[in-house]
Amino acid sequence: MTRMLASVNSLKETRLILNTSIDIIDLKQPEQGALGALSTELVNQIVQEVNHQKPVSATVGDLPMQPELIKNAVSAMADTGVNYIKIGFFPGGDWPGTLSKLHQLTQKGHQLIAVLFADTQPDISIIKSLKNTGFTGVMLDTMDKSKGSLTQIMSASEIHDFVSTSKDAQLLCGLAGSLKKDDITKLLNLKVDYLGFRGALCEKHNRTAQLDYDSINSILHYFESSRFNNAATEV
Residue 167 annotated to the active site: no
Which residues on adjacent β-strands are paired with residue 85? 58, 112
> Could you give the residue ranges of the DSSP H alpha helices within 6-134?
11-18, 40-50, 67-78, 95-106, 126-133
Catalytic residue among 28, 54, 71, 101: 28
Question: How many helices (H) and strands (E) in the chain?
Answer: 9, 8
Catalytic residue among 71, 86, 101, 145: 86
3-state secondary structure of 33: coil
3-state secondary structure of 114: strand
Q: Is 71 left (phi over 0), alpha (psi -120 to 50) or beta?
A: alpha
Residue 71 annotated to the active site: no
Angstrom distance (rounded) from CA 201 to CA 44: 24
b/e per residue, 142-169, with b = 16+ CB within 10 A? bbebeeebbbebbeeeebeebbebbbeb
The residues carrying an active-site annotation are 28, 86
